Amino acid sequence: MMKHRSVLNFSVLAVVACNLSLSQQADWPSVKVASTFNSTMSLYTWDGSNLNPLQDTQAVLLVDAVRNKAMIHSKIQVPLFGSVNADMLVDFTNGSTMMYTPFLGLCERDSLDGQFSLSTLFALLSNQQLNITQYEGSKSAPWDLNTSEWQFHSEVDLNGTDYVLDSYFEQSSSNLKWAHYPNKGVAIQFAQGGLQPAQFKDSDFVISQCNNQANTNVRFVDRDPSDHNDWFKFWFGFPRMEIMQRQADQ
């Protein structure tokens, strides 16, 4: 079956969080999705044969379509340094991000490749004529064959770069269980409950340590543009080793 690629100017995070916020079609199973939700995730690599933890990365994802913001609280195992926490705030209205790494006392500013509305994105993804997401039937993730799942397949062109995503919903619960980026060899497992509808406060989308540029207890820097070339590093806060080493030497 030929896949249709639609050129949409939005981020990888939006694809992860929102690609299946679709109106249910007659031949599609009823799956549980939400536009404002929280979820706990674990990251893995998949090479076609083996599923392995990706630096033991755990993350809590908050997405609020009304506020048009997202927050990622991640914990990553870094060689020589152990477990490192990072917070990533994304403001889709302003097209900006802020990452805070407590271990480094570092606030890193950056920008997205444009601005957009999550609510508008949901509407686009709900348009069957765009054919962005297709239902592939009763198919389980290749590393999770003992679980009955429904597969959805998405392909998008983001500023000239193709992103492919396979999403798997557990049939027994209708919850999202896996999101797989086959072109990147990365699989994300969602904790029991999948995308859980939530109500947030403004304070849920604030990194207090980075909220005041006059805060002398942290350093404010512009993020290295090369981070955009590694979506895992960009979205889940992998601290750059050269920064960490410089901090350790001080």
Write the pLDDT tens digit of every residue in 108-152: 888 877 777 888 776 666 666 677 788 899 999 999 999 999 998
Where is pLDDT greater, at 179 or 156?
179
Residue 203 has pLDDT above 50, yes or no: yes
In whole angstroms, give the CA distance from residue 42 to residue 181.
Answer: 14
**Burial category of 55 from C-beta neighbours within 10 Å (exposed 0-12, middle 13-18, buried 19 and up):** middle
Ramachandran angles phi, psi of 189, nearest 5°: -100, 130
| Residue 145 to residues 141, 142, 154, 184, 190, Cα–Cα distance (Å) | 6, 6, 21, 21, 16
Helix or strand (DSSP H, E) at 87: strand 82-91
pTM of structure: 0.83
Is the pLDDT assigned to residue 231 strictly greater than 70?
no
Q: H or E stretch including 241?
A: helix 241-249
The conformation of residue 3, written as its DSSP 8-state character, comes to P
Whether the predicted pLDDT of 80 surpasses 70: yes
SS3 content of the chain, % helix, strand, coil (to 5): 20, 40, 40
Give yes or no for residue 102 having a pLDDT over 60: yes
Residue labelled with tokens 């049939």: 171
